[in-house]
């Protein structure tokens, strides 16, 4: 009897261990996890799309992570043109997650799952993740934190869209914590060197075999966010969205350099735009860090810089909810003049 109990216990333990190898879905309301419904969503977005089509291979991008029924058009404008088989995703470490994991700072966080739940079939984690982990062992800028990745939704938001267009995709999930720009610059140097080595060893082609994506929503406006510099009427909404879009255009389009990313970081910190108001991006760290890493990596591999195009800017109040019903999806937050969130997508090609 005791032998039987031990065998059963071992089998249950193995099953539990196996289940833990797949990172479970965090948000099963705002995002789409059913292949049929995702097909229906994309077909609808195809008919609504007015964004420009990027002709050259996309080597990097910025995507929202808000609910699909709010931001579907903004995701679609980017992902319809991304075709790489491997993606490095730089995610946010949201405030609720920071509280749960002790608010680490000045580091990037890797996971230790072998796969992530996605559309129909699980998405494997790229060998790049362990390449980074083993070569940074003993260094102070990189940690493994499974719990952080279980709690955070900003990376999983991009996976269904990416997998829809690239069924065999592999991902490298990286969460970016709060840090000064100087630390960001330092860590991105080291990370870019490792990724460039990985790309060169495997003879990968940027844009075809690998792409870099930063996850970020833009301004979070309203009393719920402690952010009402312009008031709470239609004029305030107009000023807030204009500020938001101007930041994206000024610092993230055209020929992008490290100085522009530092200026964006300072602006989002509030000091440079104190008189104009405040734009509260949850990608304050993920966007400059992700773009720095992408730019440095691509420079090492190709010798070229990147050029960016703003594809779509919108917000929950302006766009409202997509007119799709019975999709299995919903919205996870309200929208009004007293509570709205901006978001945008941008694409980057080699100059």
Residue 223 belongs to a domain: yes
Residue 8 belongs to a domain: no
**Count of domains forming the chain:** 1
Residue 22 belongs to a domain: no
Residue 7 belongs to a domain: no
Residue 6 belongs to a domain: no
Instruction: Write out the two tokens for 110.
Output: 């890797």
pLDDT at 49: 85
Q: What per-residue string of b and e applies to 59-89 under the rule 16 or more CB within 10 Å gives b?
A: bbbbbbbbbbbbbbbbbbbbbbbbebebbbb
Instruction: Give the residue carrying structure tokens 């075809």.
Output: 208
3-state SS class at 268: helix
Q: What range defines the domain where residue 216 resides?
A: 29-350
Instruction: Write out the two tokens for 59.
Output: 């080597």
Residue 88 belongs to a domain: yes
Residue 24 belongs to a domain: no
Residue-wise pLDDT for 208-222, tens only, equals 999 999 999 999 999
Considering the chain, what is the average pLDDT of its residues? 92
Percent of the chain with pLDDT over 70: 92
Instruction: Write out the two tokens for 121.
Output: 């079939």
Instruction: Write out the two tokens for 277.
Output: 């108001």
Cα–Cα distance, 319 to 218 (Å, whole number): 14
Residue 155 belongs to a domain: yes
Indicate the pLDDT class of residue 274, thresholds 50, 70 and 90. very low
pTM of the full structure: 0.93
DSSP E strand stretches across 117-238: 123-124, 142-144, 170-176, 211-215, 220-222
Instruction: Write out the two tokens for 139.
Output: 């260094």
Cα–Cα distance, 313 to 336 (Å, whole number): 17
The CATH number given to whatever domain includes residue 315 is 3.40.830.10
Residue-wise pLDDT for 11-63, tens only, equals 444 434 444 699 999 999 999 999 999 999 999 999 998 877 787 999 999 99
Cα–Cα distance, 64 to 43 (Å, whole number): 19
CA distance to 78, 258, 286, 295, per residue, from 213 (Å)? 10, 17, 10, 12
């Amino acid at each position: 009897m005791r032998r039987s109990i031990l065998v059963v216990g071992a089998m249950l333990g193995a099953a539990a261990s196996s289940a833990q190898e797949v990172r479970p879905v965090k948000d099963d309301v705002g995002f789409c996890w059913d292949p049929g419904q995702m097909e229906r969503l994309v077909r609808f977005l195809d008919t609504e799309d007015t964004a420009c089509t990027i002709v050259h291979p996309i080597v990097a991008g910025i995507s929202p992570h808000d609910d699909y029924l709010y931001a579907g058009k903004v995701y679609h404008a980017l992902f319809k043109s991304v075709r790489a088989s491997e993606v490095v995703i730089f995610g946010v470490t949201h405030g609720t997650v920071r509280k749960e994991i002790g608010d680490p700072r000045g580091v990037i966080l890797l996971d230790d799952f072998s796969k992530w739940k996605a559309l129909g079939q699980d998405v494997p984690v790229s060998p790049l993740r362990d390449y980074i982990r083993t070569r940074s062992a003993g260094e102070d800028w990189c940690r493994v934190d499974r719990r952080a990745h279980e709690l955070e939704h900003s990376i999983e938001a991009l996976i269904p869209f990416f997998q829809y267009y690239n069924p065999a995709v592999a991902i490298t999930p990286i969460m970016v914590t709060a840090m000064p720009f100087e630390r960001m610059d330092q860590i991105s140097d080291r990370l870019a060197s490792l990724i460039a080595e990985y790309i060169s060893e495997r003879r990968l082609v940027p844009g075809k075999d690998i792409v870099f994506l930063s996850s970020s929503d833009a301004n979070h406006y309203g009393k719920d966010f402690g952010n009402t510099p312009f008031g709470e009427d239609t004029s305030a909404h107009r000023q807030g969205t204009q500020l938001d879009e101007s930041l994206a255009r000024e610092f993230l389009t055209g020929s992008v350099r490290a100085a522009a990313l530092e200026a964006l970081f300072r602006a989002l910190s509030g000091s440079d735009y104190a008189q104009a108001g405040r734009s509260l991006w949850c990608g304050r760290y993920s966007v400059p860090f992700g773009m720095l890493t992408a730019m440095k990596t691509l420079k090492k591999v190709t010798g070229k810089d990147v050029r960016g195009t703003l594809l779509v800017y919108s917000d929950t109040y302006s766009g409202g909810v997509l007119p799709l019903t019975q999709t299995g999806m919903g919205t996870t937050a309200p929208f009004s003049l007293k509570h709205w969130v901006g978001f945008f997508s941008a694409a980057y090609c080699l100059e």
